[in-house]
Amino acid sequence: MTSPADRIILIRKSLNIFVCGMFGIVPIIGFIPALFAIVGAVRLSARFRREWNPADAYLRVGVTLALLGTGITILAGLIAVLNLIPPFGGN
């Protein structure tokens, strides 16, 4: 069983990951907050492996938004790079 202070840390970090995930959905600008949310969620799950998290829904939504934002940013970067390459065999 965890102490009340640990439970507070768990809830606050879960909400922090949710907020970073919301910022992470913004392409390009939100890449750093998205990475912070993903790394923070991995660390949080390692630290509180079998503990009940009252803010688990926020944690899951934050990680989902962060992963979605990271994918959008990577896809946008890939499209931008591919548009810089000239087409083969064209005028």
| 86 pLDDT tier (thresholds 50, 70, 90) | confident
Q: pTM of the full predicted structure? A: 0.87
**Contact status, residue 20 vs residue 33, Cβ threshold 8 Å:** yes
Residue keyed to tokens 């959008």: 72
Residue 37 CB neighbour total at 10 angstroms: 29
Residue keyed to tokens 């009940």: 52
Indicate the domain borders of the chain.
14-78
Maximal CA-CA distance, the chain:
70
Q: How many helices (DSSP H) and strands (DSSP E) are in the chain?
A: 3, 0
Q: What is the mean pLDDT of the chain?
A: 92
6 pLDDT more than 80: yes
16-74 pLDDT, tens per residue?
Answer: 999 999 999 998 899 999 999 999 999 999 999 888 999 999 999 999 999 999 999 99
